[in-house]
Chain A
Amino acid sequence: MTDALYQEYILDLYRHPRNKTMLKNFDFTRHEKNPLCSDEIDVFIKLDKAEKITELGWTGEGCAISTAATSLLTDYLKNKSKADISKLSTEKMLKILGLPKITPARIGCATLGLKAINNAIK
């Protein structure tokens, strides 16, 4: 039986997160916290001259949901533009994560990386 929340790909991303690295050269960074579970995340964003995202990295200890979400989000945003970031909504984030019906208690987890990236470029 597959778990609706803890699907194989989520658990896989939790065990092997993507882009989980600190960038030495970056244009934007941000530290963000989920007050509910005390998860912390740092994001790093590097742009080229045309404001296209060339590199994205993040560090932190998160739950399965926030780790999978940040992994998929950072993959998604590569080669997108800075303006594309501000177009992202919570709904879009949940779509990227593949869990559109997540419970309200976990939305904070699913959007922690998004919040950090959004605040980083502000």
Chain B
Amino acid sequence: MITKKIKQHFPIFRAHPNLAYLDSAATTQTPQVVIDAMNDYYAKYRSNVHRGLYDISITATEKYEAARKQMAKFLNSAPEEIIFNSGATFGLNALARSLSPRLSHRDNIVLTRMEHHANLVPWQEMSKHYGFEIRFIELDPTSYQLEPNSYNVIDENTKIVSLTQASNVLGAINPVAEIIKLAKQKSPKVYTIVDAAQAAAHLPIDVKKLDCDFLVLSGHKMYGPTGIGVLYGKKIMLEEHLEPFMFGGEMVSDVTYERATWNEVPYKFEAGTPPIAEAIGLSAAAEFITKIGMNTIVAHEKRLTDYALEKLTPLVNIIGPSTPSPSQRRGRGEVSRLGVISFTIPGAHPHDIGEIVNRAGVCVRVGHHCAMPLHKHLGLVGTARASAGVYTTKKDIDKLVSAIKEVKKIFG
């Protein structure tokens, strides 16, 4: 059970005791253990990794590699399948660049209507060069879930399926494992990619159960530092399918003036000095999540989401699955949506909503949330979005609700 005491782990709430931080989908707050882990690196054993023979460098290397192990445990992978990078955007760009040269104008790739720009624009750019078609799994405009009838856009020429585990706008959770399985049946050589940026802090992730080839996430959306992310790749994919996309130190095994050969995985994908403090911080964040327990987090956020939906539904238009329905395709113990609640208020622009709720110390995001095509698709100029994290309380939701009443008073 998570109580409001959890806020004590997050120094931001000491700096701003009345903050109702409802923008965790954009970035989460940092627990003290993460700050401490990074401070320890800087204060006690800062040095480069994999290079020095002296004690503190050995410590730094050990801690960095321990961070990799921790992230592997978090995703249920092997440590060498974990590549550290700067975040989900980097991971998706790297995959698009590295995989697209294998595609031609006869091929297609499949995304969904609800992708973040980071899982759309890199593919558009690569499509200009390699000529493949981009297809979309459709969205049911009433349930805000993917439309199973449109899974048939996946065919034998589909070479890549890349989709988000959960929408950063709608809060909808996608049946990722089911779609990956289907894709592999229809097109055995397909590469499957999961964008877990939005899911990482809110849903259990098991790359073996998902059976995805690749998965990306960002540290700053799971209580970790900014500037760090993970690209997971199945070992065989990293060894035989994915080409290195950055070149330099650490990723090479042998270099002459003419050519170079690559180091083994995962190092061949980590050119240059990595974000060492951030990787150590991220692993502390994963440990923080694991200690609380993902199931406890899921239950906590479900309670809050149900509460928020109940209070908000009479006041606003929810853009996303409104009532969690138990009849969803997903299995035991899982939830049907995340605590990411986008909404509109007729007669009040999202920007004005954001301004007025901010006066009450409520942080929401307004605009298109890096999903412009989705908003246009739904006929919306923008939405306001409230999103929960482990530290979110009913009181935060109550503050939002009363601030929304204020918006309606002004714009009524």
Contacts and interface: CB of A to CB of B under 8 A. Distances in A.
Interface of A: 3, 5-6, 11, 14-15, 36-40, 61-66, 105-106, 109
Nearest to B407: A6
Interface stretch (B31-39, B141-149, B194-202, B347-355): B347-355
B381 A39 contact: yes
Contacts of B355: 5, 105-106
Interface in B370-412: 372, 375, 381-382, 410-411
A37 B351 contact: yes
Contacts of B367: 36-38
30 contacts: A5-B355, A6-B356, A6-B411, A11-B410, A11-B411, A14-B411, A15-B347, A36-B351, A36-B367, A37-B349, A37-B354, A37-B366, A37-B382, A38-B367, A38-B375, A38-B381, A38-B382, A39-B349, A39-B382, A40-B381, A62-B349, A63-B350, A63-B351, A63-B352, A64-B348, A64-B349, A64-B352, A65-B351, A66-B351, A109-B351
User: Looking at chain B's contact residues, is the secondary structure mostly helix, strand, loop, or mixed?
Assistant: helix
B381 A3 contact: no
B368 interface: yes
A64 B407 CA distance: 12
Interface string B342-369: 0000011111101110000000001110
Nearest to B353: A63
Closest 6 CB pairs of A and B: A63-B349, A63-B351, A37-B351, A61-B381, A38-B368, A37-B367
Contact of B410 (A6, A36, A38, A105): A6
Contacts of A64: 348-349, 352, 411
Contacts of B381: 38-40, 61
A102 B349 CA distance: 17
A3 to B, nearest CB: 6
Interface in B17-33: none
A91 B355 CA distance: 21
A34 to B, nearest CB: 8
B404 to A, nearest CB: 15
Contacts of B347: 15
A37 B410 contact: no
A4 B347 CA distance: 19
Contacts of B382: 37-39
A106 B347 CA distance: 19
A40 B375 CA distance: 13
A109 B372 CA distance: 19
Contacts of B375: 38
A112 B372 CA distance: 19
B139 to A, nearest CB: 19
Interface in B283-322: none
Nearest to A61: B381
A36 B366 CA distance: 8
A65 B352 CA distance: 8
A66 B366 CA distance: 15
A61 B356 CA distance: 19
Contacts of A37: 349-351, 354, 366-367, 382
Nearest to A62: B349
A22 B80 CA distance: 59
A36 B365 CA distance: 10
Contacts of B366: 37
Contacts of A61: 349, 381
Interface in B96-132: none
Contacts of A105: 355
Given A39-B351, A63-B351, A106-B355, 5 more contacts: A3-B410, A36-B367, A38-B382, A62-B349, A66-B351
A20 B355 CA distance: 24
A36 B355 CA distance: 13
A40 B380 CA distance: 12
A64 B367 CA distance: 14
Contacts of A40: 381
A36 B368 CA distance: 9
Contacts of A15: 347
A6 B368 contact: no
A73 B294 CA distance: 53
A106 B134 CA distance: 37
A5 B349 CA distance: 14
A22 to B, nearest CB: 17
